[in-house]
Amino acid sequence: MEYRTLTPEEEYVIVHKGTERPFTGKYDNHWEEGFYHCKRCDAKLYRSADKFDAGCGWPAFDDEVAGAVRRVPDADGIRTEIVCSACDAHLGHVFEGERFTSKNTRHCVNSISMIFKPKQAMDTKTDTAIFAAGCFWGVEHHFMRQQGVISTRVGYTGGHLENPSYEEVCSGTTGHAEAIEVVFNPDIVGFRELAILFFEIHDFSQVNRQGPDIGEQYRTEVFYKSEEQKSTVEELINILQDKGHTVVTKLTPATKFWGAESYHQRYYERTGNKPYCHIYRKIF
């Protein structure tokens, strides 16, 4: 993952968890339509539609882009820090119970941690898909090379624990699967093509394992975001079974997707290694 070069002022807040002075940030009194992105890695964090005036001196949001923000206990032992799920950049803190809006949540964010992109710059058509097919390093390696894919993010979903860590997921007690969230342009690549790639890069006949990786977190599963996605996967499963393949892939409605730690994102791209248990083979 490539990071922007930060100024000393940006580094003070984003890396060293400082705080800009209230009422000084460029986005405190800013109401243009668009999206707020992470200053360091450019991940999309907040929608302008979720911004409100809390009168606190910092930009306030009552919701985040799904899976974009991770909550961690603050070093002061009292507050809850919020960081970018993709790169761990410090954003600010989150507060609940203040009743500013119906969502009863306030993300108090430093302007200096964000960069705003107006709506006219965000008009590319997008859709999202979530797949689990074993170790998410290898799955991302293949999906990020697919034409039409705008972005990929590895993480955890399908479990019962909020904001799980890698160690907690690997313990086998949280119910989560290692998964990938794929944002794509449906005018270039359709969900069906992505689902075909999903089946062609892993062994969908294995229960709770993928190659040498064993555990519930390595299961094969599609977390569908619409009935259309569900029916598409069902169609492909039927085709595979007609070809004589055993398919144990689960189909589950998508729920909260928790971004994994930054060192997991684009792992093989950063390390220069190759997947050890995800090899493409044409089936369809």
Residue 233 lies in a domain: yes
The two beta strands, 105-109 and 90-96, are antiparallel
Measured CA to CA in angstroms, residue 249 lies from 24, 139, 237, 252 at distances of 51, 15, 8, 10
pLDDT tens for each residue of 143-163: 988 888 888 999 999 999 999
Domain boundary among 74, 96, 121: 121
pLDDT tens for each residue of 171-181: 999 999 999 99
Taking alpha carbons only, the member of 232, 244, 225 closest to residue 197 is 232
Query: Does residue 93 share a domain with residue 17?
Result: yes
pLDDT tens for each residue of 66-80: 788 999 999 999 999
pLDDT tens for each residue of 112-130: 999 999 876 555 678 999 9
Is it the case that residue 270 has pLDDT exceeding 80? no
pLDDT tens for each residue of 210-231: 989 999 999 999 999 999 999 9
**pTM more than 0.75:** no
Which one of the listed residues 38, 87, 108, 277 is annotated catalytic? 108
Domain count, the chain: 2
pLDDT of residue 124: 65
Residue 38 lies in a domain: yes
Tokens standing for residue 272: 């220069």
Average pLDDT of the residues in 94-115: 95
Output the average pLDDT for the chain: 93
CATH of the domain at 154: 3.30.1060.10
pLDDT tens for each residue of 230-258: 999 999 999 999 999 999 999 999 999 99
- pLDDT above 70 covers a percentage of the chain that reads 98
**Sheet strands (E) in the chain:** 34-38, 44-47, 51-52, 60-61, 69-73, 80-84, 90-96, 105-109, 114-118, 127-133, 149-157, 177-184, 209-210, 213-214, 220-224, 250-253, 258-259
Taking alpha carbons only, the member of 174, 183, 257 closest to residue 223 is 257
- Is residue 108 annotated as a catalytic residue, yes or no? yes
What is the residue range of 20's domain?
Answer: 8-121
- Is residue 135 annotated as a catalytic residue, yes or no? yes
- Label residue 276 by pLDDT band (50, 70, 90): confident
Query: Does residue 105 share a domain with residue 136?
Result: no
Domain boundary among 91, 121, 151: 121
Which one of the listed residues 38, 84, 135, 277 is annotated catalytic? 135
pLDDT of residue 67: 80
Residue 255 lies in a domain: yes
3-state SS, one letter per residue, for 220-237: EEEEECCHHHHHHHHHHH
